[in-house]
Chains A and B, each alone.
Chain A
Amino acid sequence: MLSVMTYLPLIGAVLILVVPKNNDLIRWIALLTTFANFVLSLILIFTFNQNVSGYQFEEKADWIPSIGAGYHMGVDGVSVLMVLLDGLLFFLAIIASWKAIQTRVREYYFAMLLLYVGCVGVFVALDFFLFYIFWELVLIPMAVLIGVWGGSNRRIYASVKFFLYTLVGSLLMLVAIIALYFQYTDVTKKASTLDIPTITNELAKAGGLSTTFQYWAFAAFALAFCIKVPLWPFHTWLPDAHTEAPTAGSVILAGIMLKMGAYGLIRFNLPLFPNASHDFAPIMIVLSLIAIIYGAAVALVQPDMKRLVAYSSVSHMGFVVLGLFSFASGLTLDKKGNELNILLDNRQAFDGAVFTMFSHGLLTGGLFLCVGVIYERLHTRDIKTIQSTLRIANRMPAYASIMMLYTMGSLGLPMISGFVGEFLVMQGAFRVNGWYAFVASFVIILAALYMLWVYQRVFFGKAEDYDLAFVDARIQEAEAISNAHGGHGAEHGAEAHDEHEHDEHGHEEHGHGHGHADKDMLRNGAKLPDLNLGEWFTLYPMAAAAIVVGIFPSLVLDFLGKPAEQIAHAMTSGAQHATIINVDLVALVQQLIK
């Protein structure tokens, strides 16, 4: 089942390569593949037994016996949610790119499906070697998506930056994986293996790794994952990548690839290096608080809608890390024998972190799709430009209402999924230290500020804001940039011209835009059509899902009971009891605030 889900997109990708050059056929293949996988992910989640601990749907086979690498797949409560998110978001992303992508269609869908393979694989792989392969596999197609179908002339820069940032982290993680592999044999005296559950369980049985080793390995793993999450100060690739990526690419990047980092922290850092997780928790928490505030503050001043959503992602993902390490700081050894319960007392933090992961996938994915909708029509995402011409709320009511919903969800309105996760995380953080929760909750105000402000400017531009001279200036500026840009301009000058002609006939057939706004649309909003069928279909189901899990959070939380116990168990039995240090958190935070 899991293998089918992983390799079905690969089959689709190969099919796309060999079929005759017919763009619609290629799109249908991609759509059917992702739809089939979405159905499979639904079947998976409905047949998943929440009350069994350990992994389900396991598949195991020998692969490279001489290094102990096996082909092992399986899902637990956390990964099954991520796989569902995979299924949903990829399906919607394919629909969202239906009209948006008109150039090099075959390559686009090939890259998309290849990306899908990696994105499923990462969450279901239960072998380090396999995991690493999928982990790196997502890099190439994503970089290509950004670099080829990306927005402006900074797209190559963004693509290379994304690639190199992630690669540096992963390579150090590879070193740590190999080191762990040998350490495992040393500690447990068992045959060496790369099997993740075996390593976790046996290490827990044997009493865990030495503290020094934990520190180093934790640092290497955490670096890779924090770059991916991304945690401040490793986040700088994210705004660039998001801004340049095509809409569907942004959705996948925000909805799934950021989750891979958090998933890695859950799967590896907490259970394998409990002491390090506990001892580094203050640092990680402070970094995540900085990320939360910094992301929100920077989002406030972004002129570009997509960049704004990207920075808000930094802020939201900060909550995930905050939750995870609030959970980890619960590890104490003051009361011998009771550690497990103490750790599980603060289960909200863990639940909240995973819940935020899930809801962030829905909400931010939705927000990026919303931005994509407006970008496809106007070829600009510049807030000021849009504000200066149009009152979109009047012209696109359906769009305005659905965007309102995502905005509210993102700023944490109760009844929508965003609230649940953040509330649980803050509750968990509060148990660790009131200050953490205070700082984090402060951000809700900022979130309301930036989300509502951008909403107001984009949708309710007032007549007195209208300033066509400004718009013209921006259009000319953008055209100048896109023409001045080297050989690129030479190729796309003609193409851009074509686009204009198409527009005059009222067609919606744009290639990937090159950052130059559509004059006609901006001047005369009458032609601005509301959501089309495809957009309805992408935006509404996700919003519905967000509301449903917002009202019935137990739908998601029920999946997390067993994994939380499992991780707590691994952490308590794997901790080196003698050497644990209890950092005085209050003093530390107070010092930091000063």
Chain B
Amino acid sequence: MSLSVNAFISANLLQISNAKPSFSGDDFIKILPELIVLLTGTVVMLADLFLPRDRRPILGYVSILGYAGAIVASSFLFYYSPPAGVPNTSFGGMFVRDNFTTFFEITFLISGILSVLVAPNYVLKRNMPIGDFYNIQTSAVLGMMVTAAAGDLMVIFVGIELISISVYILTGFARNDRGSAEGALKYFLLGAFASAILVYGMAWLFGMTGSTNLNEINQAIITTKGLKEDIGLTFAMLLLIVGLGFKIAAVPFHVWTPDAYEGAPTPITAFMSTGPKAAAFAALIRVMVQGLPQLAEQWTLIIAILAILTMTLGNVVAIAQKSVKRMLAYSSIAHTGYIMIGLAAFVNNPQLPNLQRDAIGSVLIYSLIYVFMNIGAFGIAIWVQNKGGGIDVDDFNGLGSWAPVPALAMAVCLFSLTGLPPTGGFFGKFFVFRAAIDSGLTWLVIIAALNSAVSAFFYLRVIVAMYFRPASEDVKTRNQPTGAFFLSAAMIIVTIAILFLGIYPGPALDLAKDSAGQLFQVVKIATGQP
């Protein structure tokens, strides 16, 4: 039995490694969502050239339509299974189409749609070129999708760079704003540095194992004697954690985050704190779980320690912030920490499939919920800014009385970020904690729980400002209606999604767990464990 399986596996691997770069129709089905997004980006870019300036906002509809089409395509791909004997990879193992990919793709696309929805008023008011905005954003989303689907270090690098470069541009999008330029420059310089570390780590890993394909790397570590204990491999792993840690904004690689998040135009901040972060997590999971599961004991410990630092620093520093935007920037660092707990809960023991699925599944579901709640919070911040107010906590004073509906949406998002039931944020935390406790990280969970209590403190400040404090004098003058149809739509979607994921998370959870399960299927086939 095992012989035949092995034969099958080696045949499989042979096929992967010797595959010529020839495309079949099947390959194109697998990358259909990516193609749709690419097409959308191209259409937006071209149309932007020919449309008169005042007609360009309709490009938003094109973007949304494109993303929605990609979501539909992705959803169908949940039910896609390759013909028997054919691997679910394409382009010579470069691109993996499993449910893990698909789940993340949908997360990214949702973050794309929501950011398109929250952007228009803000961007138009400040005379930023809206067509370019949509166009660059599509390329970032494309980068994220490619990253999640990567079966090879090279693809991960290409994807990450595609995201990073797009987001550098977007950060500096407010050309006349000093903060924006400062944030973009800092982000770019540090980001370039991190990319260099990342690619160095990849090179090192290639040198140690002789391959850039994640499955082959794993295979090589298993089969080559002494490689697992090799210090060089650990070094490569550390470099990769540093490089990707920068992209997810884990402490101590987070220093760019507050400035970039605060400097960037708020819709961009909403976008870059959700989608690209989730994409970097996808890359981290691909590299660590698919490529280096043999080193799990080492990297889960490192991730756990980084998670503690990340949560604690994010939450503690957020308390001191006056600006809601900067507070949300630090809170997004803290949430990176929570997500990392899910990853730290991974155990490289195929005998415990449930545990593995829960660990990675918790990362998936948390990322999805996080997209909703964070863009929601930023969305209301944008709304307040659009009204001509600033973005300090004081600008939210009395929002509950002069704008009850946005205040309610903000409250839902903030309670969700705090992790209170019955919101999605609570369920996300619950599931992350559950996975971590299952793999024996109770101490980590206790720290995380205390951190949540700390975080309640600063989220509550906004709630207090909104509901308990009277509105300031100038509210009447700035309370002019602006046609915020897109923004309202986004907020309605977000609020409903948060509550739905909080009250009836079953289906989404099953999907996440199933998607994580497929990742392990890939790992299993690669390592020859039936």
- Is B442 engaged at the interface, CB distance under 8 Å to the other chain? yes
- Is A181 engaged at the interface, CB distance under 8 Å to the other chain? yes
Interface stretch of the complex, out of B76-84, B280-288, B466-474 = B466-474
| Contact flags B440-472 to A (C-beta < 8 A → 1, else 0) | 001001100110110011001000100111101
Separation in Å of the A90 CB from the closest CB of chain B?
20
10 further A-B pairs in the complex, CB-CB below 8 A; given A65-B506, A164-B453, A179-B437: A64-B506, A133-B426, A140-B415, A163-B460, A167-B453, A171-B449, A175-B442, A178-B430, A178-B445, A490-B470
- Is A557 engaged at the interface, CB distance under 8 Å to the other chain? no
- The reply to whether B437 and A140 contact each other, CB–CB distance below 8 Å, is no
Binding site for A on B (CB under 8 A): 397, 400-401, 415, 419-422, 426, 430-431, 433-434, 437-438, 442, 445-446, 449-450, 452-453, 456-457, 460, 464, 467-470, 472, 504-506, 509-510, 513
**Cβ contacts A to B, 27 pairs, < 8 Å:** A63-B506, A64-B504, A66-B510, A66-B513, A104-B401, A133-B421, A133-B422, A136-B420, A137-B422, A140-B420, A147-B467, A155-B468, A156-B469, A160-B457, A160-B460, A160-B464, A164-B453, A164-B456, A164-B457, A171-B452, A175-B433, A175-B442, A175-B449, A178-B437, A178-B445, A487-B469, A491-B470
Residues of the A chain whose Cβ atoms lie less than 8 Å from the Cβ of B401: 104
Residues of the B chain whose Cβ atoms lie less than 8 Å from the Cβ of A172: 446, 449-450
Can you list the 8 inter-chain pairs with the closest CB atoms, starting with the nearest? Answer: A133-B421, A171-B449, A491-B470, A147-B468, A64-B506, A168-B453, A178-B437, A136-B421
Interface hits, A478-492 → B, CB 8 Å: 487-488, 490-491
Residues of the A chain whose Cβ atoms lie less than 8 Å from the Cβ of B433: 174-175, 178
- The reply to whether B456 and A163 contact each other, CB–CB distance below 8 Å, is yes
* In the bound complex, CA of A70 to CA of B510 (Å): 15
Separation in Å of the B512 CB from the closest CB of chain A?
9
Interface hits, A459-487 → B, CB 8 Å: 487
A64-B505, A136-B420, A487-B470 are known contacts. Are A171 and B430 too (CB-CB below 8 A)?
no
| Contact flags A39-67 to B (C-beta < 8 A → 1, else 0) | 00000000000000000000000011111
* In the bound complex, CA of A160 to CA of B464 (Å): 8
- The reply to whether B438 and A182 contact each other, CB–CB distance below 8 Å, is yes
Residues of the B chain whose Cβ atoms lie less than 8 Å from the Cβ of A64: 504-506, 509
- Is A144 engaged at the interface, CB distance under 8 Å to the other chain? yes
- The reply to whether A488 and B505 contact each other, CB–CB distance below 8 Å, is no
Residues of the A chain whose Cβ atoms lie less than 8 Å from the Cβ of B438: 182
- Is A132 engaged at the interface, CB distance under 8 Å to the other chain? yes
* In the bound complex, CA of A106 to CA of B434 (Å): 39
- The reply to whether B434 and A181 contact each other, CB–CB distance below 8 Å, is yes
- The reply to whether A136 and B426 contact each other, CB–CB distance below 8 Å, is yes
- Is A139 engaged at the interface, CB distance under 8 Å to the other chain? yes
Residues of the B chain whose Cβ atoms lie less than 8 Å from the Cβ of A155: 468
- Set B421, B446, B467, B506: member contacting A66, Cβ < 8 A: B506
Total count of chain A residues near the partner, CB < 8 A: 37
In the complex, what residue of chain B is closest to A156 when comparing beta carbons? Answer: B468
In the complex, what residue of chain A is closest to B438 when comparing beta carbons? Answer: A182
Residues of the B chain whose Cβ atoms lie less than 8 Å from the Cβ of A63: 504, 506
Residues of the B chain whose Cβ atoms lie less than 8 Å from the Cβ of A266: none
- Is A97 engaged at the interface, CB distance under 8 Å to the other chain? no
Residues of the A chain whose Cβ atoms lie less than 8 Å from the Cβ of B504: 63-64
* In the bound complex, CA of A160 to CA of B461 (Å): 9
- Is A148 engaged at the interface, CB distance under 8 Å to the other chain? yes
- The reply to whether A137 and B434 contact each other, CB–CB distance below 8 Å, is no
In the complex, what residue of chain A is closest to B514 when comparing beta carbons? Answer: A66
- Is A250 engaged at the interface, CB distance under 8 Å to the other chain? no
- Is A33 engaged at the interface, CB distance under 8 Å to the other chain? no
Interface hits, A183-223 → B, CB 8 Å: none
Residues of the B chain whose Cβ atoms lie less than 8 Å from the Cβ of A148: 467-468
- The reply to whether A144 and B467 contact each other, CB–CB distance below 8 Å, is yes
Separation in Å of the A259 CB from the closest CB of chain B?
20
- Set A66, A129, A179, A488: member contacting B442, Cβ < 8 A: A179
* In the bound complex, CA of A174 to CA of B430 (Å): 8
Separation in Å of the B395 CB from the closest CB of chain A?
13
Binding site for B on A (CB under 8 A): 63-67, 104, 107, 129, 132-133, 136-137, 139-140, 144, 147-148, 155-156, 159-160, 163-164, 167-168, 171-172, 174-175, 178-179, 181-182, 487-488, 490-491
- The reply to whether B456 and A167 contact each other, CB–CB distance below 8 Å, is yes
* In the bound complex, CA of A399 to CA of B446 (Å): 51
Residues of the A chain whose Cβ atoms lie less than 8 Å from the Cβ of B509: 64, 66-67
Residues of the B chain whose Cβ atoms lie less than 8 Å from the Cβ of A144: 467
* In the bound complex, CA of A132 to CA of B468 (Å): 26
Separation in Å of the A108 CB from the closest CB of chain B?
12
* In the bound complex, CA of A331 to CA of B469 (Å): 52
- The reply to whether B464 and A67 contact each other, CB–CB distance below 8 Å, is no
* In the bound complex, CA of A304 to CA of B510 (Å): 55
- The reply to whether A182 and B467 contact each other, CB–CB distance below 8 Å, is no
- Set B426, B450, B468: member contacting A168, Cβ < 8 A: B450
Residues of the B chain whose Cβ atoms lie less than 8 Å from the Cβ of A136: 420-421, 426
Separation in Å of the A172 CB from the closest CB of chain B?
6
Residues of the B chain whose Cβ atoms lie less than 8 Å from the Cβ of A160: 457, 460, 464
Residues of the A chain whose Cβ atoms lie less than 8 Å from the Cβ of B468: 147-148, 155-156, 159
Residues of the B chain whose Cβ atoms lie less than 8 Å from the Cβ of A104: 401
Residues of the B chain whose Cβ atoms lie less than 8 Å from the Cβ of A147: 464, 467-468
Separation in Å of the B139 CB from the closest CB of chain A?
36
A144-B467, A156-B464 are known contacts. Are A182 and B422 too (CB-CB below 8 A)?
no
Max count, chain B CB within 10 A of own CB: residue among A104, A129, A175 = A175
In the complex, what residue of chain B is closest to A147 when comparing beta carbons? Answer: B468
* In the bound complex, CA of A156 to CA of B510 (Å): 41
Residues of the B chain whose Cβ atoms lie less than 8 Å from the Cβ of A163: 456, 460
* In the bound complex, CA of A178 to CA of B422 (Å): 17
Residues of the B chain whose Cβ atoms lie less than 8 Å from the Cβ of A167: 420, 452-453, 456
Separation in Å of the B510 CB from the closest CB of chain A?
5
Separation in Å of the A117 CB from the closest CB of chain B?
10
In the complex, what residue of chain A is closest to B397 when comparing beta carbons? Answer: A487
* In the bound complex, CA of A488 to CA of B398 (Å): 11
* In the bound complex, CA of A182 to CA of B510 (Å): 19
- The reply to whether B470 and A488 contact each other, CB–CB distance below 8 Å, is yes
A66-B506, A140-B415, A181-B434 are known contacts. Are A132 and B421 too (CB-CB below 8 A)?
yes
* In the bound complex, CA of A164 to CA of B449 (Å): 13
In the complex, what residue of chain A is closest to B439 when comparing beta carbons? Answer: A182
Separation in Å of the B425 CB from the closest CB of chain A?
11
* In the bound complex, CA of A490 to CA of B397 (Å): 14
In the complex, what residue of chain B is closest to A65 when comparing beta carbons? Answer: B506
Separation in Å of the A161 CB from the closest CB of chain B?
11
Residues of the B chain whose Cβ atoms lie less than 8 Å from the Cβ of A488: 469-470
- The reply to whether B437 and A175 contact each other, CB–CB distance below 8 Å, is yes
* In the bound complex, CA of A488 to CA of B445 (Å): 41
- The reply to whether B437 and A174 contact each other, CB–CB distance below 8 Å, is no
Separation in Å of the A587 CB from the closest CB of chain B?
34
Residues of the A chain whose Cβ atoms lie less than 8 Å from the Cβ of B397: 487
In the complex, what residue of chain A is closest to B411 when comparing beta carbons? Answer: A140
* In the bound complex, CA of A65 to CA of B510 (Å): 9
- The reply to whether B437 and A182 contact each other, CB–CB distance below 8 Å, is yes
- The reply to whether A171 and B434 contact each other, CB–CB distance below 8 Å, is no
In the complex, what residue of chain A is closest to B445 when comparing beta carbons? Answer: A175
- The reply to whether B453 and A171 contact each other, CB–CB distance below 8 Å, is yes
Residues of the B chain whose Cβ atoms lie less than 8 Å from the Cβ of A66: 506, 509-510, 513
Residues of the A chain whose Cβ atoms lie less than 8 Å from the Cβ of B472: 487
* In the bound complex, CA of A155 to CA of B467 (Å): 12
Separation in Å of the A493 CB from the closest CB of chain B?
11
* In the bound complex, CA of A363 to CA of B452 (Å): 37
In the complex, what residue of chain A is closest to B427 when comparing beta carbons? Answer: A64
Separation in Å of the A242 CB from the closest CB of chain B?
18
Residues of the B chain whose Cβ atoms lie less than 8 Å from the Cβ of A168: 450, 453
Separation in Å of the A487 CB from the closest CB of chain B?
6
* In the bound complex, CA of A133 to CA of B503 (Å): 9
* In the bound complex, CA of A63 to CA of B505 (Å): 9
Separation in Å of the A66 CB from the closest CB of chain B?
5
Max count, chain B CB within 10 A of own CB: residue among A64, A66, A144, A488 = A66
Separation in Å of the B208 CB from the closest CB of chain A?
37
Separation in Å of the B427 CB from the closest CB of chain A?
8
